[in-house]
Amino acid sequence: MNMTLWQKLDQTGRNLAPCVVTVMLVLAGMVPFYLPDYDRIAPSLALMAVYYWAIHRPDLLRPSAAFAIGLLQDLISGVPLGLNALILVMTHWIVVTQRSFFLASSFLLLWWGFALIALAVAVVQWVACVAVYWAILPAAPVLFQALLTIALFPWFAWLFIRVHRAFLVPG
Amino acid sequence: MERPTSRITTLRALAQRFSFLLLVFASIALMIIDKVEPTPMEALRARMHDAFTPILDAISRPAATAARFLESVADIADIYRENQELRRDNARLMQWKQAALRLEAENNSLRTLLQFQPEPGMAFVTGRVIAAPGGSFVRAFVVTAGRRHGVAKGQAAIAGPGMVGRVVEVGEWSSRILLLTDINTRIPVVLQRSRQRAVLAGDNSEQPQLLYLPADAPIAVGDRVVTSGHGGMFPPGLPIGIVAEVGERAIKVQPMVDLSRVEHIQIVDFGLPETLLMSDLGGAPVR
């Protein structure tokens, strides 16, 4: 099938949707909400996005893209450079290796899988930060951040499904 | 004999696994480089938040408006009581104003007697907080004021009643403020009542600690903590917080400013000559 230039451009634009949505969520996650203590436990929206797209369209959000998005988050937020890059690449890898299981399972199982990953991510992040700063950090905000991320996952999953249907399903 | 297609799939799987490992090692290597040699990364970070400032600025405005609206609804409920309180405060502050004017006049006359060298003047730059990006690991703000507005690294950032942090990265039109509560914050302070010197150190909790206080130092809950001005980084006397807890293990300070509701920040240009800063800090220029 031969595509015209406009069709190709259109297809490329649609294929960029997963990356664009993830970058937008990285930025949206940094907005100050002026709620007491919110900044400390702001949910990790990029993690949700990488989890969803690695299950459904790993060809459109490759590990290198996850790495680049994590790096962007590190550069803007000022956390040790490479921290979020490491987290997103590992999430991507775990999900892709278990992809057949995730694709076949119900939403509840998907949520459960996400909960496990979010908690594992919290532990890895905390350990990495303790190693870099060489000081014990309070663990409670990290845990609450993971719990809030898990609790908000269904809403964002709904958003990803809408984006997925709108841009990436033909017809 | 193995079919060529299956060999290609194995090769592809190997390549994928290899690229995954490569990315993981790259992340870890970056963490180590950033730890050992943070200076080149700072310029990159500043570029990055410069580039994203317009977007962050745009998406943070609706959030600020919504927060202000909710707050105003909550305020209407107790407007009467607040009015009463403000009248009382006003009466008390008028008395304080008289006292301050009298003291200022007295100070001026004493200074002329002593030929006192006054502190260099302070200039302020105001910026809007457009991101609070660090999550639970870094306590920082990105604000819309940068090099072209006169912001320089190391300057103090204040909001309303007191200091909130210091500038750690300066871009062209944005900069990053490390908050008092961040684990990397160290600020020379003095207890206002006893003139006891100490260092304020953040630990990523809501209340930073006081370090290097002698064991017998007179200290009580409610003491005011202000910048000492030692090291020449900050003007002396900027209010920082109030001693909230004197425990066996740590002395905690409650910052003056509620850090989760800061919308605008003023950056203080202390105007110290660069040569003085260089000699103070062992030859390393701060700007």
Q: Which residues of A touch B183 (CB under 8 A)?
A: 133, 135, 137
Nearest to B31 among A33, A73, A132 (CB): A132
Say what the pLDDT of residue A169 is: 79
- The rounded mean pLDDT for chain A is 90
CA dist., res. B22 & res. B19, Å (int): 5
Residues of B in contact with A127 (CB under 8 A): none
* Whether residue B139 has pLDDT greater than 50: yes
Chain A residues touching residue B48 (CB < 8 angstroms): 72, 75-76
Domain boundaries, given as residue ranges, for chain A: 44-168
> Of the candidates B201, B176, B203, which has an alpha carbon nearest to the alpha carbon of residue B188?
B201
Secondary structure class of B154 (helix, strand, coil): coil
| Predicted pLDDT of residue B3 | 58
Phi, psi of B266 (to 5 degrees): -105, 130
Which tens digit of pLDDT belongs to each residue from A34-90?
777 777 888 999 999 999 999 999 989 999 999 999 999 999 988 889 999 999 999
Tell me what the mean pLDDT of segment A145-171 comes to: 90
Chain B residues 75-114 with CB within 8 Å of chain A: none
Q: What mean pLDDT do residues A24-41 have?
A: 84
Which are the contacts of A35, defined by CB distance < 8 A and separation ≥ 6? B67, B260
**Closest Cα partner for A79 from A45, A120, A115, A130?**
A130
**Superfamily holding B123-274:** Rod shape-determining protein MreC, domain 1 (2.40.10.340)
Which residue in A28, A137, A145 is closest to B183 by CB distance? A137
Q: Which of residues 1-20 of B touch A (CB under 8 A)?
A: 16, 19-20
Residue B279 is predicted with a pLDDT of 41
Question: Rounded to a whole number, what is the largest CA-CA distance in chain B?
Answer: 103
Q: Is the CB of B168 inside 8 Å of chain A's CB atoms? A: yes
Task: Indicate yes or no: CB of B204 within 8 angstroms of CB of A137.
Answer: yes
| Three-state DSSP state, A114 | helix
Q: Could you tell me the pLDDT band of residue B109, with boundaries at 50, 70 and 90? A: confident
Global pTM value? 0.81
A29 close to A171: Cβ distance less than 8 angstroms:
no
Residue B123 token pair:
């200039």
Residues of chain A positioned with their CB less than 8 A from the CB of B41: 81
| C-alpha distance across the termini of chain B, in Å | 68
Please report which confidence band the pLDDT of residue B277 belongs to, taking 50, 70 and 90 as the band edges.
Answer: very low
More confident residue, B177 or B279: B177
How buried is B150 (Cβ within 10 angstroms: 0-12 exposed, 13-18 middle, 19+ buried)?
A: middle
**C-alpha distance from residue A90 to each of A42, A95, B140 (Å):** 21, 8, 26
Tens-place pLDDT, residues A108-128: 999 999 999 999 999 999 999
Interface touch A132/B35, C-beta < 8 Å: yes
Which of B26, B35, B52 minimises the CB distance to A27? B52
Name the residue of chain A whose CA is nearest to B55's CA.
A27
What local confidence, expressed as pLDDT, does residue B88 receive?
92
Q: Nearest residue of B to residue A79 by CA position?
A: B138
Shortest distance, CA B206 to any CA of chain A (angstroms): 9
B136 touches chain A (CB under 8 A): yes
Question: How many residues are listed for chain A in this entry?
Answer: 171
C-alpha–C-alpha distance, residues A65 and A45, integer Å: 16
Tokens of A54: 């690695």
**pLDDT tens digits, B196-245:** 999 999 988 889 999 988 888 888 899 999 998 887 778 888 899 999 99
Write the single-letter amino acid at B5. T
Nearest chain B alpha carbon to A149: B135
| Contact between chains at A64 and B56 (C-beta distance less than 8 A) | no
CA distance A117 to chain B (A): 17
- End-to-end Cα separation, chain A, in angstroms: 16
Task: Report the residue of chain A nearest B29, measured CA to CA.
Answer: A82
User: Which residues lie below 8 Å from residue A163, measured CB to CB, with a gap of 6+?
Assistant: A17, A21
State how far the Cα of B57 lies from the Cα of A71, in Å rounded to an integer: 21
User: A-contacting residues of B 205-224, CB under 8 Å?
Assistant: 205-206
Task: Catalogue the long-range contacts made by A123-127 (C-beta closer than 8 Å, 24 or more residues apart).
Answer: A124/A86, A124/A87, A124/A90, A125/A83, A125/A87, A125/B137
> What is the structure's pLDDT at B1?
46
Angle at A81 between CA A77 and CA A86, to 5 degrees: 105
The identity of residue B111, as a single letter, is R
Distance from CA of B261 to the nearest CA of A (A): 5
**Among the listed residues B191, B121, B198, B132, the one whose alpha carbon sits nearest the alpha carbon of residue B165:** B132
